[in-house]
Amino acid sequence: MTSRDAKEALGKFTRRQLMELDTCAHCALCTEYCPVYMETEEPGHAPGVRSSKAVKLYDKQHGLRARILGPRPVTDEEVEELSDSAFNCTFCGRCMEVCPFGIQTHELWSKVREVVHDLEGTPRNVGMLEEMLDESQNPYGLDPDSRLDWADFTDLEEIPEKDKAEVAYFVGCTTAFKGANHEVAFATASILNMLGEDWTLLGEDEWCCGSPLLLAGDEHSAKEYAKHNVEVLESRGVKRLITGCSGCYRVFKWEYPKLLGGDLKFEVLHTLEYLLEKLESGELKPEKTDERVIYHDPCELSRLGGLIDEPRKVLAYLANDWVEFAEHGIDVRCCGGGGLLQASNNEARLAIAKKRLDEAKSLGAEIITSACPSCKLTFVDSAREHEVDIEVLDLVELVAKQLGIL
Ligand code: SF4
Ligand code: SF4
């Protein structure tokens, strides 16, 4: 990396972000809310320390001294330290919620990752994920042909792949390619069939939504993915896009308009919004379970996506007995599955999830439910690793189960 490249990379912070980096008082108020720091207790993983590291590198290239005497080189060790801090973060946004100065940490950490990407400091596993996306348009490196294999595994009888349809079900990579989530796709597809919707899957034309690319700091490629997915959906005349993935939902709803510079021509719904509509209209009539259920808010759906009341309204149709975590809704504690933590620190990911599972058990929950395939996968992996006995179901699986179709 030349000093010119380093200068350009570190020059990517916006004015607002530079002010925020300067404003961060390192008060550490956010530290005890950070699920990763609370797990690893590594000083470098504290959000305020990340700000200091970023400022230090920025100053070396753009600070007053650099402007008078010339920039100083950024060492590999410094880039590695910033990278370790930036990638030990689930992007849960909780630090943003508690920061007394209103620092928009979610956008700030995103920019830090972009800078690390440009400084060629991306962790090896995350870099491999980018390579797999390049080859197969999904972060698991699996053959794009197998994107609909979940339908075979689940014996789904009607698999619509239409040229034109009102509704498209955007399955998302973590649902399509991870066995733990195949029944999530099956439940969604079965409910759409049961309701007689004019709907379609996108099959091989569905590419990753681009969320992992944004999390890896590669906005340029994410834009290509956004462009592709939107073109495919528009060419099929889709009016409503339904997705059960909180990451896909947030990216379609909030990031695509920014990446593409305009509003989308179709409505973006999370599956649970669609389910609530059908429950309230009486088109879906599930039986209620007597098992005790607890709902975990996916960070990207609640704190970052604004869907807090909706899942609870859905749950009221499904369970006679449901309880809340102490930290829920906008204050939810992350499951550990966000921000590509699986690639950068899987041990921390599983340990963070265990705390959540233990709390669910202590509250007497028999079923833990969420509305995101990453949360489900993380809970399933952690329950297996740490031998916690609890049923993990996505909300749409619970709906299908109570309708008697799962
Ligand atoms: S709470 Fe805000 S000001 Fe305090 S350390 Fe965290 S980000 Fe910085
Ligand atoms: S976004 Fe979440 S994991 Fe990342 S620094 Fe903030 S609180 Fe910690």
Distance 98 CA to ligand 1 centre (A): 8
Query: Going by CA atoms, what residue is nearest to atom 2 of ligand 1?
Result: 99
pLDDT given for residue 165 in this prediction:
98
pTM, full prediction: 0.95
pLDDT above 90 for 390: yes
C-alpha dist (Å) from residue 394 to 117, 271, 274, 291, 294: 33, 11, 15, 15, 11
Ligand 1: distance of its center to the CA of 135 in Å? 39
Cβ-contact 199, 185 below 8 angstroms: no
Tokens, residue 170? 């955007």
**Hey, CA dihedral for 19, 27, 308, 392, is it positive or negative?**
positive
The pair of structure tokens assigned to 16 is 């607002």
- 8 pLDDT higher than 90: yes
Model pLDDT for residues 312-370, shown as the tens digit of each residue:
999 999 999 999 999 999 999 999 999 999 999 999 999 999 999 999 999 999 999 99
Q: Which numeric CATH code is attached to 3-121?
A: 1.10.1060.10
Ligand 1 pocket residue status of 26, Cβ below 6 Å: yes
Is the CB of 47 inside a 6 Å radius of any atom of ligand 2?
A: yes
214 has pLDDT over 90? yes
Find out whether the beta carbon of 34 lies less than 6 Å from any atom of ligand 2: yes
Average of per-residue pLDDT across 86-115: 97
Dump pLDDT digits (tens) for 255-288. Answer: 999 999 999 999 999 999 999 999 999 999 999 9
Ligand 2 atom nearest to 37, measured from its CA? 8
Nearest atom, ligand 2, residue 45 CA: 5
pLDDT at 2: 62
Average pLDDT estimate for 88-114? 97
**Whether residue 94 has its Cβ less than 6 Å from ligand 2:** yes
**341: Cβ contacts below 8 Å, ≥ 6 apart:** 36, 87, 88, 89, 90, 348, 349
The ligand that comes nearest to the alpha carbon of residue 338 is 2
CA-nearest residue for atom 5, ligand 2, is: 47
CATH 3.40.50.1860 fits 285-403, yes or no: yes
89 lines ligand 2 (CB under 6 A): yes
Q: Kindly give the number of the ligand 1 atom that is closest to the alpha carbon of 31.
A: 6
Q: Where are the domains of the chain?
A: 3-121, 285-403
Atom number, ligand 2, closest to the C-alpha of residue 91: 1
Mutate to test the pocket of ligand 2, among 41, 87, 94, 334 (most ligand atoms within 8 A of CB): 94
Residue 294's pLDDT is: 98
Give the pLDDT band (50/70/90) at residue 153.
Answer: confident
Contact 304, 109 (CB under 8 A): no
- Mean pLDDT, the chain, integer: 96
Closest atom of ligand 2 relative to the 47 alpha carbon: 5
| Residue owning the nearest CA to atom 4 of ligand 2 | 89
Residue with the nearest Cα to atom 3 of ligand 1? Answer: 24
Site to substitute for ligand 1 among 19, 95, 112, most atoms within 8 A of C-beta: 95
Helix (H, G, I), strand (E, B) or coil at 167: strand
Listing DSSP states for 196-223 in one string gives T--EE--GGG----SHHHHHTT-HHHHH
Regarding the beta carbon of 13 and ligand 2, being less than 6 Å apart is answered no
Residue with tokens 């899987």: 346
Residue 19 CA to ligand 1 centre (angstroms): 13
DSSP bridge partners of 367: 293, 391
Inform me whether the pLDDT recorded for 296 exceeds 90.
yes
